[in-house]
Structure 1
């Protein structure tokens, strides 16, 4: 039997902290919100669908928890995100944790993709993270005590697939942004984690049915509902979103830069490592280049230790 995950195990670390979670009334976002609530955190949750918001409010009521601050938000709306950040601080006084979770799972052959396909998927999956960071980081920096940023990507941030080109690009972008951001936030005493979950019991497969009219000109052939529903059956085998949320809590508590929630991808990482090592040229590098790379490695270690790194530290 595996470990039984419970957000209450982390109350001593996070009780009273204020968290804002995007896409937080379904799927992984809801799992994160529930785990955070069990850890005693005060919550502001973004949502799009009123029925999902009502169901989430009912869960909190049944648990005897205070109702979260619900904020209706399209994560691509920069002005809306700024207003959301203001509401959170006005309501709670501070904000300590940001979880950028909202995203769309849309697939199709990349060689047939249109501009609308790129703009929609990248706009939500990467642009939504950017909007969260720009809106909330100044407010998190101005707050006190334990603070953390979690950007939720996907195992696609490491493992591309033939039907997931734009989706994969968006998750690679979130990965690169987050791994760099960690070094920038360390000097401010703010933790930063990249979470890459894999198959989870969500309705993410329905994203293609929620395409905005503004991005209607898709290059992908329409997917018949029966095919999409068959694809959705795979998600029934997925991890419970609450377990994902608890694993994120555990990673935050341990100050992990990378949070991997699913154990089944060991063979993929072994194969990836072997391919990368095999691709390296078998030859000596000149001393000058070796010196520059050692400076880069030192800068990364120093940044993670809390030092501010400037350009002249790299040469």
Structure 2
């Protein structure tokens, strides 16, 4: 496991010994990572070393797990009160003079909610990052409110969470969970995590799993029923809390946290398109969010962590690269991600335009933004860009292949040079981006999303746009093929298909088969028509963010794009007849 170089110590408390590991410099803010069920501290082995560059990182095996000893007898030895004693003992040993920052996953989060809401820990906790584990007290009140006022919606929420909690009932049965974990379930658990949860292998979980899981069943038996029946009325957080919710969690509903603001005065929400075991499947994103949150709290600004833009809980801290970001849809998209708190790489062949986009992105919400100059049709330049981005900024979470050029003219007026230019930018630029940055996403193994800007012209034939439409149709099909190939790796692919959008592509488009004067006239007329239509690029940017959040495949934007898409599906012959009409030139 990747905890090499960790300093280990034993902390004695309540008749047991806890195995505690430390990474990083002691003088830095202390971050304590608390693992869940049926894990040991090694569940954090991909997160802890990354955090150790900035913080003093502490991990410990919960009593009865890993290399910590188990209480005797087991019954009554895992109550939240005793687990709180353990936490305080660890905190006093590793950071006696400064409050610590808590991070908990699964049952580690359940415990940490107790630590963060009881009076005797007040002043010892600087912040708490919770993932995949609710407060049992909050959960008990959540259930009580729905039983007292059982509207159809609330009953549905209760039934939904009840179905997700099937394993809790099983763990309350005597003896059977222990036999299962020490037998076939313990043997096959690593493969179950790989197949169902998409958790990478590589030595996780550790060989202590059967014993850890058998002991850990008492976490449920000692606490769940008692707390759900009689939840504390004073379970208010006395420290800022960051809630990270994996949207694909098979065990916990998002609705559990709907009323969390009642209990947490300073709450930052994050969401992640992932399953339950995010310390293993999304370590980079967690490290980014934890680092941002802890740094903000240390600086006295816990309320300033959350960006104000739409989807801030989804994209905050993520790395987004947008090509063609110097103007139009690309610039609007970079701004939209910046407002959502993403880190933005603005790429354009116009260095000044890219720099302006990056500068404005920082002003409107991006914690970091950079400008990069590249011609997307240049394979070698794109390869250098991909290496630089990975080394200096990290692996891209969202890639928006937006750069494109316009070309109008009949097929026989379009020269081979015209064809090459439009295909090099509109198609090969997308291929280069998908191949280079998409490969980095796949190799990282933590998912991501690729957005390719196609066009309504991809499915709406036109006698005036043979080359442009061909390039965009190829982008659409490429996106569909990639979506199928990358689905198993948690990487989404979306083709955005705008219609008539008011950008500068019309004023710079090339018109084949006419002289320079006529080309300028047509450019001005096209720009005027698009201006009268006046569909803003900001709406396309909104559609892009929404498509990433929803994982949509093909997204027509503008009414005419929607109409043409429906016609291409249901009345293609009518669409072919429209294609024969002369364009308004």
The equivalent residue for 2:495 is 194
Contact 2:318 2:342 (C-alpha < 8 Å) held by counterparts: yes
TM-score (norm 2): 0.43
Contact 2:501 2:530 (C-alpha < 8 Å) held by counterparts: yes
Query: Match for 2:541 among 245, 249, 259?
Result: 245
The equivalent residue for 1:82 is 383
- Return closer, same or farther for 1:13/1:146 CA change in 2, 3 Å cut-off: farther
Q: Secondary structure, in 3 states, of the residue corresponding to 1:136? A: helix
Give the Å deviation of 1:248. Answer: 0.7
Give the Å deviation of 1:277. Answer: 8.1
Matched, 1:154 2:449: no
- Return closer, same or farther for 1:274/1:180 CA change in 2, 3 Å cut-off: same
Contact 1:106 1:207 (C-alpha < 8 Å) held by counterparts: no
> How far, CA to CA, are the matches of 2:313 and 2:440 in structure 1?
24
Tell me the alpha carbon deviations over residues 178-228 of structure 1, each in whole angstroms, 9 at most, x when there is no partner. Answer: 11110001010111111101111210013336x9xxxxxx65544342332
Matched, 1:142 2:443: yes
Tell me the alpha carbon deviations over residues 97-135 of structure 1, each in whole angstroms, 9 at most, x when there is no partner. Answer: 111100001111112221101101111111111111121
| Deviation >6 Å, runs of 4+ | none
Matched, 1:259 2:560: no
Give the Å deviation of 1:234. Answer: 1.7
Query: Match for 2:340 among 24, 29, 39?
Result: 39
Contact 1:45 1:70 (C-alpha < 8 Å) held by counterparts: yes
> How far, CA to CA, are the matches of 1:261 and 1:119 in structure 2?
27
Q: Secondary structure, in 3 states, of the residue corresponding to 2:335? A: helix
Contact 1:97 1:140 (C-alpha < 8 Å) held by counterparts: no
Matched, 1:176 2:482: no
Query: Match for 2:327 among 26, 42, 47?
Result: 26
Query: Match for 2:525 among 226, 230, 233?
Result: 230
Give the Å deviation of 1:261. Answer: 1.9
Tell me the alpha carbon deviations over residues 159-188 of structure 1, each in whole angstroms, 9 at most, x when there is no partner. Answer: 122211100000111011111110001010
The equivalent residue for 1:56 is 357
> How far, CA to CA, are the matches of 2:396 and 2:359 in structure 1?
24
Tell me the alpha carbon deviations over residues 217-273 of structure 1, each in whole angstroms, 9 at most, x when there is no partner. Answer: x65544342332121112212322122111110111001111222133454344434
Contact 1:152 1:195 (C-alpha < 8 Å) held by counterparts: yes
Mapping for residues 44-123 of structure 1, pairs under 5 Å: 44-63=345-364, 65-123=366-424
Contact 1:75 1:128 (C-alpha < 8 Å) held by counterparts: yes
Q: Secondary structure, in 3 states, of the residue corresponding to 2:538? A: helix
- Return closer, same or farther for 1:151/1:7 CA change in 2, 3 Å cut-off: farther
Structure having greater relative contact order (Cα 8 Å, sep ≥ 6): 1
TM-score (norm 1): 0.78
Contact 2:450 2:491 (C-alpha < 8 Å) held by counterparts: yes
> How far, CA to CA, are the matches of 2:482 and 2:460 in structure 1?
22
> How far, CA to CA, are the matches of 1:170 and 1:238 in structure 2?
25
Contact 1:96 1:144 (C-alpha < 8 Å) held by counterparts: no
Q: Could you tell me which runs of 5 or more consecutive residues in structure 1 were left unpaired when the two chains were aligned.
A: 1-5, 212-217, 279-315
Q: Secondary structure, in 3 states, of the residue corresponding to 1:110? A: coil
More strand by share: 2
Contact 1:7 1:249 (C-alpha < 8 Å) held by counterparts: no
Tell me the alpha carbon deviations over residues 26-73 of structure 1, each in whole angstroms, 9 at most, x when there is no partner. Answer: 000011101111111111111122332343244235436445221100
The equivalent residue for 2:186 is none
Bigger radius of gyration among the two: 2
Contact 2:459 2:473 (C-alpha < 8 Å) held by counterparts: yes
- Return closer, same or farther for 1:48/1:118 CA change in 2, 3 Å cut-off: same
Tell me the alpha carbon deviations over residues 2-44 of structure 1, each in whole angstroms, 9 at most, x when there is no partner. Answer: xxxx982211111111111111110000111011111111111
Q: Could you tell me which runs of 5 or more consecutive residues in structure 2 were left unpaired when the two chains were aligned.
A: 1-306, 575-585
Task: Let me know the Cα RMSD of the aligned residues.
Answer: 2.3
- Return closer, same or farther for 1:52/1:20 CA change in 2, 3 Å cut-off: same
Contact 1:121 1:167 (C-alpha < 8 Å) held by counterparts: yes
Contact 2:344 2:370 (C-alpha < 8 Å) held by counterparts: yes
More helix by share: 1
> How far, CA to CA, are the matches of 2:497 and 2:520 in structure 1?
28
> How far, CA to CA, are the matches of 2:390 and 2:434 in structure 1?
15
